[in-house]
Structure 1
Amino acid sequence: MPQKTNVHFLSNGIPVILRNAPFHTCKILFSLHFGAGDETAPEYGITHFIEHLLGQSTTGDKTFGTLTKKIEILGGAISLYTTYNKIGCYINILPEHLIDTIQIIAPQITSPVFDTEKIEQEKHIILTEHKRYIAQNSWFLFAQENLFKNTGLGHSITGTPETIKSFTSESLSKYYHSHLSSDKFNIVVISQINNTEKLLSELESTFGNMPHTPYKSKSWTTTPVIAHDFKHDINNTKLVLAFAAKIPDTRKAQIATGLFKKILRDRLINALRYQNGLVYSVKCLTMGVGNTKLYTIETEAQPHQIETITKVIASECTNILTIQPITSKELQIAKNVIKYQNARVMDSIDKSCETYAQYMNHYGKVYDFDMENLELEKTTLSDIITTGHTILNAPISIITQGPEQNDNIINIWTKNFITPK
């Protein structure tokens, strides 16, 4: 059965993305498009703290306990999370309880009351979570703090013990309402929707009065850095080469970037693993959000092999831009892989919800499976090659972690990556 996706707009401009699908359950995603990346130093962790409180009863009604409990009474489940650019609220519910769920969640989002007693209770929980998060993510946080130093992305989403302890009802409320805005909010519903008019009417009555708050998400310029994290209890050295390329935040440019990363990764795994037996895996990823992104090559190996690995990576990056340019066959293979990944996203309710919300916020429209693949097929070799030049010729940062520090990596990269004239 065809699954049609439509976008409707409430009177205040809030997009409501509806995908009518023959499921026995209903998935709702409420996305508030501000996050930890919008915080200043004294505010570090405040978005994550607010996310915790939104999971409580913030309307002053203590009859049914927490928001989680209210949803569970209807047989559903709720999950909230924070990223550097978003607070997300997922709800799984039976379709017949969709309207009731909206009536429960709406006041939590539009007019929360941050109770002092609950804030003090939650501080203990978040401090414990913070310690666990720091302990389990030391490498990620080291890379994040160094690669995004002096930006809003160079800190832990959970904040610091000092900031966590400092939050009050007043500071939380002020921050939340200064960022809550109809142009930074959208709603996704994936379900078998029998009465669209009734659903939209309910959303209009509950969210149609959300104000438009003049606020613009921040963007920064990263500074190239070379840093090493000593870890004497591990045997391998982790290596990240990060390129501060300015890729336009358009769907066309991001698709070209994804294709180039796929082709480059295939070239690198062939050279490093299958030809030379140096590494087990290589990743080509994107770090950051919005207009503050880094494009990375990541791997790990024994410390004495890192110089050789860097040399091979530099040579392959030179080759892909010069003597061995990307072929039509490589591009078609990459397109097939991306198309399959798109299909898996659309087959997953959670992933498709995320994708719809993200694209609506970034590009002002929803890309369903057919639209995404249409843009994919329009991408040319010229687009990929241009993107490759932009990424690999950008300022480079080098981050390592392991038992030994190697100060020669940047020199090896500079010597072996030959910039095309």
Structure 2
Amino acid sequence: MKKIICGNGVRIVHEKMPYSRSVAIGIWIKAGSLDETKAEWGLSHFIEHMLFKGTTNRSAKAIAEQFDRIGGDINAYTSKEMTCFYTTVLDYHAEKAIAILADMFFHSLFDEADIRKEKSVILDEIASVEDTPDDDVDERLWSIMYPDHPIGRSIGGIKETLNKFNREMIGDYMSRLYVPENIVISIAGNYDEKLIDFIEHQFGVFKGNEEVTNFTVEEQPVYKSGFTIKHKDIEQAHICIGYPGLVLKDKRLHDLILLDSIVGGTMSSRLFQDIREEQGLAYSVFSYYSSYTMVGSFVIYGGTSPEQLEKMVATMDRITGQIKSDGVTELELSNAKEQLIGSFLLGLESTESRMHRNGKNELVLNEHKTIDEVVSLIDNVRLTDVNQMAYETFTDDRAISIIAPKSAALPL
């Protein structure tokens, strides 16, 4: 992997994969829901949508047609800390793809009529989350864990703020955050140096607005335990249990990742084997970790019939309690390491996965560990490390989010 810093501060990271016939291209912007004021709640995600709605040179339909014409898929996402626009195309179409992405980035119209229409689209997207209890219960959990901080807000926003978005707000936000020092262009695949020169020509000359005062989130988010329940006329009961986790740069992060694998991250995990395979209490049960620059979390999720909710949660508590008191086994740790290493290495076989890894590492961490370094970090985790992590993680200081019909037997 190589890195270039353009004269204006835009960073280009690129990794050659000569055996591939494709090139993955991503524009990464350090602008996410964490960077929004209360009045801007949801604006990062809204801008992500609007960049597809037409430029001074291309209509929205033309953007879609031109990517179809070169056999490429274009997509985007917004997270709490970043926005990313990306595509994967055949190597000989890479320059065309970058030209379209640059046009969207620099010359989007933000037409007021399109803004009005897209508000309706995103309101439908927000409603679809509310209609998907396993997504909704997770978003509500974050609002409990970090109620007084932007990190606890949903990425999509809410109706009250969304309805007030206009072209001026979009311009002010982009002037503040869509600036060279916040931009990373990540490339992976089969390309030559001419393509890198072309990217530098497209993105290495624009200037940020020096008169804009940056809004920064200065306060450190403080985790809070709590409980929330939403009664809904649905067939299943859904629960998320959240614990404090680790930030991205924590040296013990791989201890937590391996703990997650053992607790509920795989089909051989304790949660899956006990709750689904042995007791048949749930179709879906798992754990996951989230790590950001400022905060992290460890979450356990399960969905079951309302009458089984209490039993399922009691089993979750028994499993985490046993791991906390007795620890995990050497066999579990060995299996988790092999699974994690295999998943990591196999996941890097595509150009898109390499592009995503390099782009995120540069934007958020500003560092790049080699593949061998990552494997070594996983291999060097000791049993005592994972057991200590379990002891610190599974405390009574937890947050609980439930969405269930009124008939559900609550685990209280």
Matched residues in 1 for 2:259 and 2:120: separation? 45
Q: Deviations over 1:69-98 (max 9, x none)?
A: 444454433222222222211122232232
Q: How does 1:5-404 map to 2 (within 5 A)?
A: 5-21=1-17, 22-58=19-55, 60-62=56-58, 66-110=62-106, 112-136=108-132, 137-193=135-191, 195-196=192-193, 198-211=194-207, 216=216, 220-234=221-235, 236-245=236-245, 247-250=246-249, 252-265=251-264, 266-273=269-276, 276-287=279-290, 289-322=292-325, 324-393=326-395, 395-403=397-405, 404=407
Matched residues in 2 for 1:86 and 1:286: separation? 18
TM-score for both structures, normalised by structure 1: 0.83
Matched residues in 2 for 1:71 and 1:305: separation? 48
Matched residues in 2 for 1:284 and 1:162: separation? 33
Residue 215 of structure 1 deviates from its aligned partner by 5.8
Matched residues in 1 for 2:247 and 2:142: separation? 22
Indicate if the aligned counterparts of 2:51 and 2:104 stay in contact, CA closer than 8 A: yes
The root-mean-square deviation of aligned C-alpha atoms, in Å, is 3.0
Amino acid at match of 1:371: E
Indicate if the aligned counterparts of 1:34 and 1:179 stay in contact, CA closer than 8 A: yes
Larger displacement relative to structure 2 (167-176 or 121-130): 121-130
Q: 1:131 to 1:331 in 2, by over 3 A?
A: closer
Matched residues in 1 for 2:128 and 2:307: separation? 32
Q: 1:79 to 1:178 in 2, by over 3 A?
A: same
Gaps of 5+ in 2: none
Indicate if the aligned counterparts of 2:73 and 2:88 stay in contact, CA closer than 8 A: yes
Match of 1:419 in 2: none
Matched residues in 1 for 2:395 and 2:144: separation? 20
Residue 221 of structure 1 deviates from its aligned partner by 1.9
How many residues get paired? Answer: 399
Matched residues in 2 for 1:350 and 1:188: separation? 10
Q: Deviations over 1:295-353 (max 9, x none)?
A: 1122233444444433333333232233x222332211110010111123112333333
Matched position secondary structure for 2:252 = helix
Larger displacement relative to structure 2 (341-350 or 135-144): 135-144
Matched position secondary structure for 1:346 = coil
Matched residues in 1 for 2:281 and 2:121: separation? 44
Q: 1:46 to 1:405 in 2, by over 3 A?
A: same
Q: 1:209 to 1:216 in 2, by over 3 A?
A: farther
Larger displacement relative to structure 2 (171-180 or 10-19): 10-19
Matched residues in 2 for 1:300 and 1:131: separation? 20
Matched residues in 2 for 1:375 and 1:389: separation? 21
Residue 244 of structure 1 deviates from its aligned partner by 2.2
Q: 1:18 to 1:124 in 2, by over 3 A?
A: same
Matched residues in 2 for 1:102 and 1:385: separation? 47
Matched residues in 1 for 2:262 and 2:394: separation? 13
Q: Deviations over 1:119-157 (max 9, x none)?
A: 334334434444444434544444444444333244443
Q: Deviations over 1:375-417 (max 9, x none)?
A: 21122223322322221137201222222355653xxxxxxxx
Residue 50 of structure 1 deviates from its aligned partner by 1.0
Matched residues in 2 for 1:277 and 1:223: separation? 32
Indicate if the aligned counterparts of 2:282 and 2:304 stay in contact, CA closer than 8 A: yes
Indicate if the aligned counterparts of 1:252 and 1:379 stay in contact, CA closer than 8 A: no
Q: 1:390 to 1:93 in 2, by over 3 A?
A: same
Matched position secondary structure for 2:347 = helix
Matched position secondary structure for 1:114 = coil
Matched position secondary structure for 2:229 = strand
Q: 1:65 to 1:227 in 2, by over 3 A?
A: closer
Indicate if the aligned counterparts of 1:237 and 1:401 stay in contact, CA closer than 8 A: yes
TM-score for both structures, normalised by structure 2: 0.84
Matched residues in 1 for 2:117 and 2:242: separation? 40
Q: 1:232 to 1:150 in 2, by over 3 A?
A: same
Matched position secondary structure for 1:166 = coil
Larger displacement relative to structure 2 (369-378 or 331-340): 369-378
